[in-house]
A and B are shown apart, each in its own frame.
Chain A
């Protein structure tokens, strides 16, 4: 199984409609691949909140309308913030039947007010246990951060360091939401509290954007990247149903299975895209994937081991924090970045000699987690 083409739009506050964004990303992915759109046999569409933000459901048929006369199977996938990687996971499974599959993820979020957005995003939590009790997403991750600090001595400075690193990486990614923005530690530390102890710079932004990948059963060109591991795991939706706050069982299971499929250990990884919807989530991901032991992520951050020139660069595109988080597109953009790195096409943010990369996408507070591991061919 191979990724043979990738495409994405810029992330941020964009003027295009949701359909225009999807079309742009698909067009670019097909143009980037050696195949024609007529060779695509099925499409998986990732979108989380189109029904709320753009009042559009039945989005698979919207995609069909963008590709007249194709009339192939097109199916929508929704697993909250993990929708993108879940669609890729489904696309890969479908390669048992089809030779080429296109996966497209899109979200248009900036037309709503902040209060509406906060409410919509909370829909990834349980209606009764979380939403009705005011458990918006920053509050979930705030409670996780509080526990992580209590258990392991992680500090808010460690979280700020994650934010600072990801913003620095985004400065090297022309498509990133915050590519233009020079962020200082002082700006991060002085930003307003969202849900204590998390402040504004601990949170990923509300972005528009789309990303697409073309998957193929067989190798088509030297620029292809091989998928060597793919797994999806699930867990209780609400933190109130969990025994443990500072670790996501879904990430642990999906990572262990995907690493096993790939026949590698975490230390073999050269570049990682971790789901940093909030800074604390990146630390949790490092521990759950097995990059470091529980509680040690803070030491990695303090030693800058995950910086672009560190031992294992994480979120080289800026991550959800600074590349942006157009939900349906995010998980696909992570794979876009890994493929770009493994092809050696990442320009100023290229990780030297990157051969194996991992993408980690989470829905909600770990109700869904998806891991993909890719290996470059050159």
Chain B
């Protein structure tokens, strides 16, 4: 290794195995190379009394004893960062691509058509323009790659599917996908109600398949329903819970059942509100009553518009099929609106009208 310039003695490297936290600060300001905040700067001492500075996304206390390998060193080298594949460029696909990119993850966004992801990129740029710093926008956009070829997903660590809520279409996709991406990649579906166990049957190595149900808008809603099938391995479940926590979200574990927790409770509620509307109560009165009486931030009809009336109907049909309970049969008004092309906020009209 060379000799000492002062005394000519031979220089030897030392190896450190144990580190103790001597200082820790929470860094709240992003910089170009370290744009995901907050992160922690640790001042560590090893067994020889040497000091080290390490970046971490995990919080420690002064005096904690740690192994250096256990520290995730963060976003400095993008290649070390988990790569996320997002399939589908609809409402959720776009939001997830943006969310992961803003959190420092490289994203590969898949759409069947070039127009699909061109539109998605335009929309994401528009959402991001609320951030004032154009440099920050560029950094986020640079993390999003797009592709029309499923085979490009071969090197992602986690893929999240967000295509239309159709069992057969999803099964076909997973069948193609699971042979293309790596054996160790975790395959997740963002389905809001379809049976995970049945989807799992189309997947090679189904123990790595899991439901990861995000809520709209992704950046604001902290819940992730983690839905496991009878095949899902303990490792996959634990990985997902840990990963969701790292994203700053709150995971709740649900065994596979139609509608999971949120939609199974929500859909009869929305359906009942639609029936009230058909009985002649005004939409404003229904939504205002729920907001004021139950302290909900928005009423069920406005929420149905936000979710999409077609999506609501599709979830209700899934629930009806699963539980064979008349509560889940969509009120006729849904079909009246859908047949006129009024799907909710995304088409400019649903139970309410929206400026586009």
Interface residues of A (CB under 8 A from B): 113-116, 118-119, 122, 129-136, 138-139, 142-143, 146-147, 192-198, 238-242, 245
Contacts and interface: CB of A to CB of B under 8 A. Distances in A.
Contact of A135 (B53, B134, B136): B53
B43 A195 contact: no
Contact of A239 (B29, B43, B135, B139): B43
A239 B33 CA distance: 20
Given A113-B134, A138-B27, A193-B28, A143 B55 contact: no
Contacts of A197: 25
Range of interface residues on chain B?
Answer: 20 to 34
Contacts of B43: 143, 239-240, 245
A113 B29 contact: no
Contacts, number: 98
Nearest to A113: B135
A133 B55 contact: yes
B30 A146 contact: no
Nearest to B30: A115
B32 A116 contact: yes
Interface in B1-49: 23-35, 39, 41, 43
Given A146-B23, A196-B25, A131 B33 contact: yes
Contacts of B51: 239-242
B323 interface: no
B52 A240 contact: yes
Interface of B: 23-35, 39, 41, 43, 51-55, 73-74, 76, 133-136, 139
A114 B41 CA distance: 20
B28 A115 contact: no
B25 A139 contact: yes
Contact of A132 (B26, B32, B35, B76): B76
B53 A195 contact: no
B294 to A, nearest CB: 35
Contact of A193 (B26, B32, B55, B76): B26
Contacts of B25: 139, 142-143, 146, 195-198
A135 B31 contact: no
Given A239-B51, A240-B43, A115 B35 contact: yes
Contacts of B41: 133-135, 139, 142-143, 195
Contacts of B73: 133
B34 A194 contact: no
A118 B53 contact: no
Find the residue from A133, A138, A147, A198 having the highest chain B CB count within 10 A.
A133
A133 B30 contact: no
A278 to B, nearest CB: 12
Contacts of A130: 53
Contacts of B23: 143, 146-147, 245
Contacts of B76: 132-134
| B28, B41, B54: residue with the most chain A Cβ atoms closer than 10 Å | B41
22 contacts: A115-B32, A131-B33, A132-B76, A133-B53, A134-B41, A134-B55, A135-B41, A135-B55, A138-B27, A138-B29, A139-B25, A143-B24, A143-B25, A147-B23, A192-B28, A193-B26, A195-B25, A195-B41, A239-B43, A239-B53, A240-B53, A245-B23
Nearest to B135: A113
A198 to B, nearest CB: 8
Nearest to A112: B135
Contacts of A119: 31-33
A170 to B, nearest CB: 23
Given A115-B35, A135-B41, A242-B51, A195 B29 contact: yes
B272 to A, nearest CB: 45
Contact of A136 (B26, B31, B74, B139): B31
Contacts of B139: 115
Contacts of A196: 25-26, 28
Given A113-B133, A135-B41, A195-B41, A129 B53 contact: yes
User: Which of B25, B27, B29, B52 has its CB near the most chain A CB atoms (within 10 A)?
Assistant: B25
